[in-house]
Structure 1
């Protein structure tokens, strides 16, 4: 049987640290949260490979550890931050964010995945799993200090950006399939700056698909 604790340590040392993940709190969170709990049943032994694992349908996936860690590191989470985790799947990203001290709203449109997230996060007090359209966000509990989008999006997520607090950050993978980049948005008043971070690949979230004829 795979030693999951050892696999987590190896993931942190051999995947995260070698991909410019250097925030000690982020590294500690990834070593503490049991990733094998958040993958589809029967796939636990694949939880720590350096690959994205699909979860259910509708483009949901558990992002490759180094990709997710870089996105979360870019958000610069502080204890007490209210954070929205969009397309949470089974809730792995939400669990990492909570471990960093955030108060997390985990948003999922799939009833099956939302139920799975509630089951896996039942002993985690700092996370609320909310079921609803992911492109609309969760405005009832806005504003957010940070928003994490779990999946590739093809259009600017304006509805989500509008739910950021002043100075808030949104991290996502943005763009068409072969030209997508991890991107960080930062709100300053009514303006939003965007900065590409690195090339990245994730399954597309249909809720954020570009309209026909749209040129990125």
Structure 2
């Protein structure tokens, strides 16, 4: 029988800690959340690999290192409301829920959303609200948010989502240029988001998060 707890510890010791993630609440969350319960059944054995896990339809569960470094750079505190865009089967939301006050998880795939709901309940995570709807529209009725994360690649962040971040809030996005990507952390002040590069990573660009093509003569 697979010892997932041992694999979880190894994931933290070989992928998370060496990536300069030092905040205890993040490390603790990643040691506690059973990642194998938040992935497709056929992928359970690969749950702790240091790479993105395919969900199909161009969707992935971001590799543990990427999620941990995003959270570390965002410095989420336990009195903050977080919007998790593209929550998939709920792993990222379960981890964030350990470090935030509450999480609103947006997922457009109803099957994945219901599986996420089930897995979150089984894991005893009770501070996540699942919102089923288009990822690019977020969940304005529960906002505005102190912090936002997007679980996939983007080339630009839709204005609808930018508007749901509180003034003084932060956002982590993985900007893709071809096959190369970098996670940038945005700080919103005076209604404007200023970005700074944080670290390199990669993921497929989410539908609705690419640049609009403008035809020029």
TM over 0.5: yes
SS class of match (1:195) = strand
Displacement of 1:42 in angstroms is 2.1
Structure 1 runs (4+) deviating above 6 angstroms are: none
Task: Figure out how many residues of one structure are paired with residues of the other and give that number.
Answer: 213
Q: In structure 1, list runs of 5 or more residues that go unmatched.
A: none
TM-score (normalised: structure 1): 0.94
- For 1:193 and 1:87, locate their aligned partners in 2 and report how far apart those are by CA, in whole Å: 22
- For 1:180 and 1:15, locate their aligned partners in 2 and report how far apart those are by CA, in whole Å: 19
Which deviates more from structure 2 when the two are superposed, residues 185-194 or residues 155-164? 155-164
- For 2:199 and 2:125, locate their aligned partners in 1 and report how far apart those are by CA, in whole Å: 32
User: In the alignment, which residue of structure 2 is the partner of 1:36?
Assistant: 36
Displacement of 1:52 in angstroms is 0.4
User: In the alignment, which residue of structure 1 is the partner of 2:166?
Assistant: 165
Q: In structure 2, list runs of 5 or more residues that go unmatched.
A: none
- For 1:189 and 1:210, locate their aligned partners in 2 and report how far apart those are by CA, in whole Å: 24
SS class of match (2:157) = coil
User: In the alignment, which residue of structure 1 is the partner of 2:104?
Assistant: 105
User: In the alignment, which residue of structure 2 is the partner of 1:193?
Assistant: 194
TM-score (normalised: structure 2): 0.93
- For 1:153 and 1:183, locate their aligned partners in 2 and report how far apart those are by CA, in whole Å: 11
Superposed counterparts of 1:1-216, under 5 Å: 1-57=1-57, 59-122=58-121, 123-213=124-214
* Cα shift readout 1:160-214 (whole Å, capped 9, x = no counterpart): 1211112111101013232321011111122211011122101210121222259
Distance 1:41 1:140, change over 3 A: same
Displacement of 1:119 in angstroms is 1.3
* Cα shift readout 1:3-54 (whole Å, capped 9, x = no counterpart): 1111111111111111111111111110110000111012111101111001
- For 1:112 and 1:16, locate their aligned partners in 2 and report how far apart those are by CA, in whole Å: 30
- For 1:200 and 1:67, locate their aligned partners in 2 and report how far apart those are by CA, in whole Å: 7
- For 1:126 and 1:187, locate their aligned partners in 2 and report how far apart those are by CA, in whole Å: 25
- For 1:128 and 1:144, locate their aligned partners in 2 and report how far apart those are by CA, in whole Å: 13
> Is the 1:177–1:201 Cα contact (8 Å) retained in structure 2?
no
